[in-house]
Each structure stands twice: as C-alpha cells, then as structure tokens.
Amino acid sequence: MILRVILVITFWSATCHSADNASGFKVFRVLPTTNQQLLQMIRLFETADTDRADFWHAPSVVNGTVDIMVAPEHTDQFQGYLEKHGYTFQVAIEDLQKLLIEKEGNLSTHITDDDVFLKRLHDDVGFHSRLRMGEYYSYSVISTWLQRIAENMSDIAQLIKVGTTVEGRDILGLKFGKDTPDKKVVVIDAGIHAREWAAIHTASYFINLIVNSRETDPQIQNYLDNIVLYIIPVLNPDGYEYTRTDKTNPRARMWRKSRSPKACAFDGVRNSCCMGVDLNRNFDFRFSEIGASRYPCSEIYHGPSAFSEPESKAYAQFLTSLKGRLEAYITLHSYSQLWIYSYSHRKFTYAPDIEETRRVAAKAVQELGRMYGTKYRHGTGPEIIYAFSGGSTDWAKETLKIKYSYTIELRPGYEEWNGFVLDKNQLVPTAKETWAGVTVVLDEVANQWKSSRIRESELNRIREEKCADRLAGCAYWLQSSPNICRVSQSTMIRDCAKTCNLCHMIAV
C-alpha cells in the first residue's frame, strides 16, 4: 500500500487534466529488465488511471515488453519517470491519433442497411442474411442482423437475450441447432472488452459463415445436427458503442471497460472517480486476488464485488442455466495470438482434466496455424502472459466444470504495438483462421456426442439381444406377487428381464 502511494505521488503529482485533447497520445514500449522494475510496472498497472496511462500490454516477465498508452498532458512526466528509474524504453507510437485517422478516419459513419446487408441474388423474400465482412458495425446494425437471421431462419437459429446492460441495451446472441435435452452445448462470445473490435468481427464472421454455408458445408451441417451452439458477438455493447463515439480519439476508441456509473476511491493522493468496470475481472473466481484493481479509474477495475455488474451477472446466470450440458466455452479477445486455459491466478494450478484441455488446445493452435502460418502459443495465463483473477473462463471452468474453457487472444502477435487497430485486410483472415482453430473444439464436442449415441444404440442392440427370461416361471411369479420385479430387481434383471420389462437395465 505504501509503495502504491509513493508511486502515485512520484509519477502523477501536480498534473492537470485536459481530457478533451485527443492529439499527442503516445504509446511507450517499456522493457523491465530487473525484478524490481517488473514489480514497479505491475503496481503501476494496478493503480494507474486509464485517463493517464492505459496498459495495452500488461507487465508479465522480466525482459517482456510492456506497452502503455499515455495521455498528452502526461507524456513528458511519464518519460521523465522512466528515465529517472533507468528503464529501457522507446516511443512506439509518436502520435496515436494520427495513426487512428490514417487507419480508421475515413470510415463512413452513416452506413445504410443497403450498404451493410448484401442482398442474396434471386432472393424472393428480400431476406438480407449476409453481413459484409471485413468491416465494423454499430451494435444496432449487429442487433438488427441477428434479429433478421432468427426471423428468417427459425429452423436453425433462435434469438436469445442474455441480459440488459447498465445503459439499457439488450445483450443479444443466436442459438444454433435443434435443441434436444441430451445434446451438448457450446458457447462462444466476444467483445467483453470494448476496444477489441477484431474479436467482435470474428464472432460475427462465425455467425455469417453458419447462416450462409449451412446448405453447402457438411461440417456446418454436422454442427447444426449434433450440437447446440450459442454465439454472443458483443458482451459489452455499452463499452463497444462508446469506443465508436469517436474512432480517432484514443480516449474513446481505446476504452476497455463497461460503462457503469462513476465510482470513487482514495488512492493516497486524491479521491478519483471514474466510470466502468473491467467485466473480465468481475466474475466470482478468486475475485480481486491478483491482476485486478480496486481503483475505479484503473482499466482493470474489478468492481465493488463479484458479479456487481448486470452484464457479468446475467451472463453467469445464462451459462449456469446450461450447466451439465455446457461442454465448451470460448471467449474471443485481442490481441497476442494465445490460446489460454485455466487457471490464471497462479502458476501450475490446473483442473483435473488438464491433459485433455491441453491436447485440444495444442491441436486447435496447430489447425489454426495451418491456414496462414500464424503462430499461436497455448498455456495457462501465468505461463504465457500474466496472472489475473475474476475472468469468465476460469469462473466457468471451476464452477460449471466445463470440459473446454478457453480464452483466445487473436491477431496480431504480442510484439506488435497497435493490435487494437488491426489492418482491415487482416480482419477476414483473422476470423477464418480462428474458425479453423475453433472447429477443433466443435469437432471434439460433436464427435464425442455422436460416438456416445452410437455407443448407446449399440448397447441397446446388445441388450435387445440379451433380452430374455432365463427361467420359465416368470409370468407366474409376477402374477402371484405383482411387486416382485421392483422388490427383487437385481435378481429379476438376471432371471426375468423380459417379463419384468427390465431389458434396458441389463449390464453389457
């Protein structure tokens, strides 16, 4: 605590806020070369105001790069601080706003439905099912699209509402496949972090692929027949819409959290009040223990208590309602090219089925890389990136005992410094290769279910064969003591299975 206070004083004292200034944002790439520097960076990560220093790449290991976006009015001070403490660093982006204008500034802000939905040729009902990929869309366009799919393809897709956000938006998704109570369920989401647009695009691409290839692609048909698949493309629509309010202003475009009302905390120097909670720190898994902040102005603010936020609370309830059937849960983030599994709070802490988890992750990463050669690493959080608690996949793994629970960090790689503004021409390849990885998980679930069904029908066939009375007096016994099948069940399965209607219980 004392260290935290000192840090805040030495670094941020006597600064004034001019929150409207969007030019002059810099991104620093810092290299902590000693344990002490690493610890100092971690403390800064946990205490810094997003308004001043926003960590794009959290500190993880000694000699591992840390990328920090710093607001214009603090860049000199921050650079002085780094120099004073002997850090190795470089300014990776001199003027972030300039870069955003170059990359995203010419995006049209008023897209009409005709621009967005590609009309199907010879489509009599005028159903617009296809979203033009390689673009970003408002939440209202995405919502309309989901509704249209559900209305026009009710045989395979159903609109679901997971909950309502702080600002009153519906968190919508689609449920694919015919539901029967014995089918296994897979849930895929994206956009829990507002600025991770490539993840939202990837989830949308998955939906687009399913609705438009369902008649031609046997693999998609296999999924629709054998699993129930939910896709929720934007878990944090309030945050996402906020990032779209000014795409070339880093303060808006780089927003990560939800948009919950202001909360305040005294950090040793002043009482700071800020909006938003990092929803991926708000789940009830080792809440607030590590890699999360109690300061509302931090970008990793965990909120006042576990599931304090309507978004995470509703989502946890939704996932819990699938308990027992939920076989895989995948959450899409960006960036670093990582396939992460549980647990994240401490090194070498695994669920009992870690071998299977790892096997499927390794296969998925391999399959993903086969498409364009993109290299992913897999492992638990602290093994390959950093430790943190309160995340959705860890909560799901521990509480719901989900077999495959994965966080995927999409392109670009860790070493890139502008991962949140992925080049547009990378969007579709990113989504395609991710789908290739995800199909490994989907295949596991679908095939396991299929083979369990085959096994079950084979067992029934054998039972049918074996279904006979071993003794001649079964009918007579049943007549004279009507409860005998129930009372002496195990004997009767052996001797009078047919007469007692107990064939389904024959051990094979």
Q: Which of 207, 162, 141, 102 is nearest to 431 (CA)?
A: 207
| Residue 381 touches which member of Zn ion, ligand 0X9, none, C-beta under 5-8 Å by kind | ligand 0X9
Per-residue binder mask for Zn ion (CB under 5 A), 195-224, x = binder: -x----------------------------
User: What are residue 80's phi and psi, to 5 degrees?
Assistant: -60, -40
The footprint of ligand 0X9 on residues 268-287 (CB under 6 A) is: 280
Query: Among the candidate windows 27-35, 40-48, 107-115, 384-392, which touches ligand 0X9 by CB under 6 A?
Result: 384-392
Torsion of CA 132, 136, 139, 143, to 10 degrees: 20
Nearer to ligand 0X9 (CB atom), residue 45 or residue 137: 45
Query: Among the candidate windows 201-209, 264-272, 380-388, 458-466, which touches ligand 0X9 by CB under 6 A?
Result: 380-388
Nearer to Zn ion (CB atom), residue 196 or residue 309: 196
Choose the catalytic residue: 46, 309, 311, 409: 409
Q: What angle do CA 71, 74, 79 make, to 5 degrees?
A: 110
Instruction: Give the whole-angstrom CA distance, residue 386 versus residue 376.
Output: 16
Q: How far is the CB of 290 from ligand 0X9 (least distance, A)?
A: 9
Task: Answer yes or no whether residue 74 interacts with ligand 0X9 by CB under 6 A.
Answer: no
The footprint of Zn ion on residues 331-360 (CB under 5 A) is: 333
Task: Answer yes or no whether residue 193 interacts with Zn ion by CB under 5 A.
Answer: yes
Instruction: Give the whole-angstrom CA distance, residue 51 versus residue 70.
Output: 8
DSSP class of 421:
G
| Residue 311 touches which member of Zn ion, ligand 0X9, none, C-beta under 5-8 Å by kind | none
C-alpha distances (whole Å) from 37 to each of 92, 293, 474 are 19, 19, 82
Nearer to ligand 0X9 (CB atom), residue 136 or residue 388: 388
DSSP class of 343:
-
Nearer to ligand 0X9 (CB atom), residue 137 or residue 386: 386
Could you say which of 388, 406, 414, 420 contacts ligand 0X9 (CB under 6 A)?
388
Collapse the DSSP code of 68 into the 3-class scheme (helix H, G, I; strand E, B; otherwise coil) and give the result.
strand
* Residue in the shown chain whose Cβ atom is closest to ligand 0X9: 381
Query: Among the candidate windows 70-78, 100-108, 385-393, 437-445, which touches ligand 0X9 by CB under 6 A?
Result: 385-393
CB 67 within 8 A of CB 124: no
Nearer to Zn ion (CB atom), residue 78 or residue 285: 285
| Residue 484 touches which member of Zn ion, ligand 0X9, none, C-beta under 5-8 Å by kind | none
Q: How far is the CB of 496 from ligand 0X9 (least distance, A)?
A: 57
- What lies within 8 Å, CB to CB, of 172 at 6+ separation is 142, 143, 146, 147, 159, 160, 161, 162, 232, 234
The footprint of ligand 0X9 on residues 182-211 (CB under 6 A) is: 193, 196
Task: Answer yes or no whether residue 344 interacts with ligand 0X9 by CB under 6 A.
Answer: yes
Q: How far is the CB of 107 from ligand 0X9 (least distance, A)?
A: 23
Instruction: Give the whole-angstrom CA distance, residue 190 versus residue 255.
Output: 15
Q: Answer yes or no: 409 catalytic.
A: yes
CB 288 within 8 A of CB 302: yes
| Residue 276 touches which member of ligand 0X9, Zn ion, none, C-beta under 5-8 Å by kind | none
Instruction: Give the whole-angstrom CA distance, residue 82 versus residue 312.
Output: 36
| Residue 388 touches which member of ligand 0X9, Zn ion, none, C-beta under 5-8 Å by kind | ligand 0X9
> What's the start-to-end Cα distance of the chain, in Å?
64
Query: Among the candidate windows 93-101, 110-118, 311-319, 379-387, which touches ligand 0X9 by CB under 6 A?
Result: 379-387
Nearer to ligand 0X9 (CB atom), residue 72 or residue 413: 413
Instruction: Give the whole-angstrom CA distance, residue 29 versus residue 282.
Output: 28
Look-up: residue for tokens 């099948």? 485
Q: What angle do CA 240, 405, 398 make, to 5 degrees?
A: 105
CB count in 10 Å sphere of residue 399: 15
User: What are residue 296's phi and psi, to 5 degrees?
Assistant: -60, -20
Task: Answer yes or no whether residue 419 interacts with ligand 0X9 by CB under 6 A.
Answer: no
Task: Answer yes or no whether residue 386 interacts with ligand 0X9 by CB under 6 A.
Answer: yes
Instruction: Give the whole-angstrom CA distance, residue 8 versus residue 17.
Output: 15
Could you say which of 274, 361, 385, 421 contacts ligand 0X9 (CB under 6 A)?
385
**Residues of this chain that bind Zn ion (CB under 5 A):** 193, 196, 333
**Residues of this chain that bind ligand 0X9 (CB under 6 A):** 193, 196, 280, 333, 340, 344, 381, 385-388, 391, 407, 409
Which sequence positions are flagged as catalytic? Answer: 409
